[in-house]
Structure 1
């Protein structure tokens, strides 16, 4: 029956549905949107006339109208599931399914051969990929193997693919393009020695392994630097899971001792699954962060995939310090701040301890949102990752980001000291990433069937060669 229901488009936005969610046939994106709105007791507002069109391409432009449509069409946290529907509701649903199938059969007659079906699917996917990825929930619903391939650089998306209007934001053009000619260049000659010193630290850390003979040109375009700063910072702010206001509001929302004990008594499988979902949600935002950085989408598809797979955990660790409370050594996890003891059931005390220690040490640096954004981008755009195609292009992009970070730090007058502290955390990040992979591989060996149920995006990023049993499918 579920397969039959899925032929009916999402009642909210018209995208491909995935079943009945909260009482209404919807896609995964609208299901996730409604779930988040209820979990967070969200109160949205509409800047227009409260009658915005909600469809696949613009469903993220107005959260207020989208939620109103969800409620109007019957979505409810208390809604009964399909198996508990009344006979009248079930008969009505069967009738709708049959009617929709008949209309599809009439429209698609003569176009059912395997090759043409695959071609149609690929074209439709590329056309809708920007809209699909603009809803962060949709990334985890894509077929495995497409998670990073098609979404990032669709062949026919053209220049509109990164247009922030599609994502509920403003256009990506920088106001700094209006700068006067007199301000078109910036001389960094005075800071040459300190910048070279920090580049050497990057080189020594292992994450930035390329040798830079002339790390800083005699003069660098102020317009270019300001543009990359604005692009990266805007991307960071728009793709942060929690705003600074949200984090302040949640700061003293702690897990009670009873709730902590409840988590400790969970099985390793259940706790790993919960953490995998939590990490996957964060990775979705990091994918969006990368896409919106000026120049990232100009890289070839292969390099985009490699940079994201290799660097998303690094960025996640950097972002994590925003959600760390050093006063009581707690970290935001599923809406509340948790102590390290809450994760006991994972069986990874050394990994958990390393993560909390890293968050504590990084938070001491007290990075601003600007600095964190640029540092994250510099780490993500690391040209030393294996199998990259255009290392020089990535290196130039990273250098621009690094210059932007240097400029932001120079405004504070503490560039040498603060940047040295930031760079010194890179080896610890690499160590935690490797430890996470080791723990995950061991868990996969012991619990292969549970590992197979992890979110597709999590499995794609931290992929393994282990073959899972067919019996787990379906």
Structure 2
């Protein structure tokens, strides 16, 4: 019988120094690095003049006592995230130990599996939108996912520049560690794994129907329609929009500044946005009520401090509703069904957000669609979207993180039921989606700041700005 290995007491083998690939001694200035690179960065902090490179900044940094370019070495340190603010005291946390053990295991496995020297692990993940395949249109929603086309970039041990991805990677590595523990203790811990699986199944049998019901209440129109029925709505509305174009021209959206000037001087509602605002107000309160109800179904969410609940709901607003309503968007036809059931062309929808940003949001619906999520998977992804501890200030971030870890374990359980051993690839794609989401959120927040300066919207629709767009 194999003895269970504890991550808390296991001798910690560190992966190589992220800067020079030498023997690392720990996390220094926020990055796993060796003593030489730690000392180099410490000396840099007290240096007054910048380093200069004589080879156009293309020097390779190696584990060598001499010969490394100081300018390129410092540039690499900074890109990896080394910072005076990251100085810390104390031992490795469980999460850090887990990440280190997993990385070392993978490096060893690469050496064992490959007769060739392993290639250098890439240091950065691109934060651009995931590549979209030519056949990733609306019709792909009902087709099975091609597992062979899934890349393994999220599974690899790469260093991510953007700090918001830290907890995504920590959550993923913690779950991978759980899988590794089950594998290492297969003989002695098999019954425990079965017991855990049965407990999760019992929780999900109660939780999933509640989440689905709340999601349907939030999306009363599209949740009751098939993809074909939504597509039919899009086509009918598109035909009407094209008739308007034949009569009135391109029907390009009027800029907010132009509209405000005209409305202020003449009182003329040239594109009907006043009617649109009143229409949104009629169902807005109900939408917010159901949004809160969805969050309170999540286990332990209602036990969080009230300020934390409010902050999380506000921070997740954009990503949550994109995930909720992605089926209602058709990027090929450039049509969308609103929560209230109205159908608009992108030109009609771009009243307060620039058309280019709207197009990027429309295109991102393809990324979500290609995940081919079932209803069970989708509501768990929605729940996970609500509990990222790094998006806002929280009184109890550790409790929020525990809630998310539990939700991730539920999602992976559901994915394993459907995909078996391939579950890790699907889960990695979902994590990639969350990473790419943040780029869109940045553009959303920039537009929010502009909306707050609008002459009329804060007075006409204050509840929307106060709840969905308030930036704490």
**What is the TM-score normalised by the length of structure 2?**
0.50
The higher radius of gyration belongs to 2
